[in-house]
Amino acid sequence: MNLPFGSGQTNRNWPVLLDPIHSMSYCISFDDVKAAHERVKPFTNLTPILTSSTITKWSSRSNVLFKVEAFQKTGSFKFRGATSAVQDLPADIAAKGVVTHSSGNHAQALALAAKNRKTTANIIMPDTAPITKLNAVREYEATVTICSPTERVSTCAKIAEQTGGTIIHPSENPKVIAGQGTVSLELVSQSKDFLPPGESLDLVIIPVGGGGLASGNSIALRGLLGDKVKVSERSELAL
């Protein structure tokens, strides 16, 4: 069983890299996000930016932009992180397959990422997972194991031990985090077509679940825009 950066629990032995903007240390750097973008570009969609005149009018902003990750392959940003992690595996490790636990989005993402790498994926899904996502994972030719929600982590570890596959955690994996950060590399570049000359994004709102999307894009935005962009807690945000 291989556990590089994602065993289902926080690994305090992860290598720590220095953020290029601040003196705090993080598990990834801006350079890691740029490297991840090179890995995922051949496989991912360049998702569009859409606008809404109504929401812009409701807000106090001159422009409100939406980076539509629902148009990403498998239907979410999760495909970026999964692809980044799987493509980074050495050939001999990748050949043994990958393993994860997920209710749906990361499950679909890893299944397709593994298929693109021509390796196997074992996906542990809870018995509460939506049938549409379960079927999608199987369509991507992954092997699915169903268990109770409370047994996902232990079942994942057991199957990884049996198969020798590498666990790719949905969010606690630096390569996954770096892959999710590629959203902002595209966003900052694309936003120039919607903003007045010389202006850049000054506020980016990122939803937080497991934290992979938020952390990866916070690193990317700081690397791209420094302190020009606001990354704050929800209570401080005001459109």
The catalytic residues are 78, 103
- Determine the Cα–Cα distance for residues 107 and 1; give it in Å rounded to an integer: 19
- Determine the Cα–Cα distance for residues 51 and 7; give it in Å rounded to an integer: 39
Among residues 159, 102, 100, 156, which one has the least CA distance to residue 125? Answer: 102
Q: Which two tokens stand for residue 12?
A: 């305090």
- Determine the Cα–Cα distance for residues 78 and 80; give it in Å rounded to an integer: 5
A 10 A CB-CB count for 204 gives 23
- Determine the Cα–Cα distance for residues 80 and 179; give it in Å rounded to an integer: 5
Helix or strand run (H / E) with residue 152: helix 152-163
* Chain centre distance of CA 141: 21
